[in-house]
Amino acid sequence: MRQIIIIGSGPAGYTAAIYAARANLKPLLIASSVEAGGELMNTTEVENFPGFPEAVMGPDLMFKMQAQAEKFGTEIVLDDVVSVDLTGEVKKVTLGSGAVHEALAVIFATGSAYRKLGLADEERLSGHGVSWCATCDGFFFRQRTIAVVGGGDSAMEEATFLTRFADKVYIIHRRDSLRASKIMQERAFANEKIEFIWNSEVIGIGGDEQVQDVKLRNLVTGEESELHLQGLFIAIGNDPRVHLVHGQLDLTPEGTIAVDGRSSKTNLPGVFAAGDVIDPTYRQAVTAAASGTVAALDAEHYLTTLPQNLLDSAADGASGDLELTTTA
Ligand SMILES: Cc1cc2nc3c(=O)[nH]c(=O)nc-3n(C[C@H](O)[C@H](O)[C@H](O)COP(=O)(O)OP(=O)(O)OC[C@H]3O[C@@H](n4cnc5c(N)ncnc54)[C@H](O)[C@@H]3O)c2cc1C
């Protein structure tokens, strides 16, 4: 049995691991089989993570975090958690391989997935003009022409924010009215740099190295057109990765895991959550990392409240792990 298992390998998971490992808790971190490193693996330059005045490539930053977590004794498994049993004092975490790991504390740091348009070139041009985060990437679009896709509050907020940098910001929306709150709409309508393209969807993104244009279809007339631009911001929502905890952990109305105040404590003792999976608002690498710190410290404190015999059985780390494989 383990003292701590951390699920997720983004900034929240790795930071929780660094703290837990330095507290000698020998954490096991389940990193995912195909997406280890989290969202920043999908981007190029990160200019707003403190400590890197020359910027750092997203994957480089994540490899450094991984190395730092391993340096202090974190064990990392490249697999997916497929189910969890969080109810008892001893938590059970089952992996895709069939292995079952037990722990006294579990930290969920599974992040949140931005909704995609589902277009062929969207992934390829991610970090090369296609973005899901105005706060992260707006600075790269000074004096450029860009478009924001979406009609909700976050699309209006991103578009308005982006007018600080861009010369022109189109908002492309599928309908002829917005879902956004009145105040956000008014702010966008009043902004001279913003122009709305109504009843339209993006059906293609063009460009070899960088985004050069998007293809649009008018959903009323069926007419297709091309719009030349250098950036496309997709603001059509995001989905916290909470499918593992449905029915076990309380969720917020926004779909994130509910935690107690500024802590990482969920509704179940010994279960903590950190990063974008608890954050409907900020969703930044540095806020996720800070949240990972909180979760590790909360978990560390929780472990001190457990009976000594339980702690003794977890103190030697991996030796108690059950290597069960599923039978066909
Ligand atoms: C394209 C892009 C560019 C960005 N640029 C910036 C930027 O410049 N600056 C900035 O501050 N922020 C940026 N962000 C936001 C930032 O990436 C996120 O806020 C941050 O990564 C959140 O960290 P996290 O640890 O909570 O989750 P994530 O980074 O999403 O990591 C979660 C991890 O958990 C894993 N996981 C999920 N479910 C399971 C499971 N069942 N089993 C095992 N593993 C699982 C996932 O595979 C993933 O590896 C960007 C985001 C995107 C998409």
Instruction: Of 192, 35, 28, give the one whose Cα is nearest residue 111.
Output: 35
Query: 328 alpha carbon to ligand 1 midpoint, in Å?
Result: 33
* Ligand 1 midpoint to CA 308 (Å): 36
279 is catalytic: no
Ligand 1 neighbourhood includes 130 CB (under 6 angstroms): no
Q: What is the pLDDT along the chain (328 residues), one digit of tens a residue?
A: 999 999 999 999 999 999 999 999 999 999 999 889 999 998 888 999 999 999 999 999 999 999 999 999 999 999 999 999 999 999 999 999 999 999 999 999 999 999 999 999 999 999 999 999 998 899 999 999 999 999 999 899 999 999 999 999 999 999 999 988 899 999 999 999 999 999 999 999 999 999 999 999 999 999 999 999 999 999 999 999 999 999 999 999 999 999 999 999 999 999 999 999 999 999 999 999 999 999 999 999 999 999 999 999 887 665 445 554 443 3
Q: What is the pLDDT of residue 44?
A: 84
Tell me which amino acid residue 21 is. A
Nearest ligand 1 atom to the CA of 285 is: 11
Spatial separation of the C-alpha atoms in residues 233 and 226, rounded to whole Å: 16
8 A C-beta contact, residue 129 and residue 230: yes
Residue nearest to atom 53 of ligand 1 (CA): 39
Please, which residues have CB within 8 angstroms of residue 142's CB and are 6 or more apart in sequence? 165, 166
Catalytic, 316? Answer no
Q: Write the burial class of residue 253 (CB in 10 Å: 0-12 exposed, 13-18 middle, 19+ buried).
A: exposed
CA of 39 to the centre of ligand 1 (A): 3
- Phi, psi (deg, nearest 5) at residue 84: -140, 145
Q: Is 274 helix (H, G, I), strand (E, B) or coil?
A: coil
Question: Please, what is the Cα angle at 7 between 108 and 313, to 5 degrees?
Answer: 95
Q: What are the φ and ψ backbone dihedral angles of 136, each rounded to 5 degrees?
A: -75, -45
Q: Which atom of ligand 1 is nearest to the CA of 112?
A: 30
> CA-CA distance, 314 to 317, in Å (whole number)?
6
What is the 307 CA–ligand 1 centroid distance (Å)?
35
| Ligand 1 probe mutation, 77, 110, 283, most atoms within 8 A of CB | 110
Residue 22: which H helix or E strand, with range?
Answer: helix 11-22
The catalytically annotated residue of 137, 276, 279, 298 is: 137
- Which pLDDT value is given to residue 325? 44
Which of the residues 80, 121, 133, 213 is marked catalytic?
Answer: 133
Query: Which one-letter DSSP state was computed for residue 164?
Result: T
* Residue 321: per-residue pLDDT: 57
CA distance 205 to 227: 10
The DSSP symbol for 322 reads: B
The pTM assigned to this predicted structure is 0.89
* The pLDDT value given to residue 320: 46
What are the structure tokens assigned to 154, written together?
A: 């976050």
Residues counted in the chain: 328
Contact partners, residue 293, CB within 8 Å, separation at least 6: 15, 16, 19
Name residue 108's beta-bridge partners. Answer: 7, 273
- The residue whose CA is least distant from atom 19 of ligand 1 is 284
Distance 81 CA to ligand 1 centre (A): 16
Residue 313's pLDDT is: 87
**Does the annotation mark 121 as catalytic?**
no
* Residue with CA at minimum distance from ligand 1 atom 2: 43
> Counting atoms of ligand 1 from 1, which one is nearest the CA of 40?
17
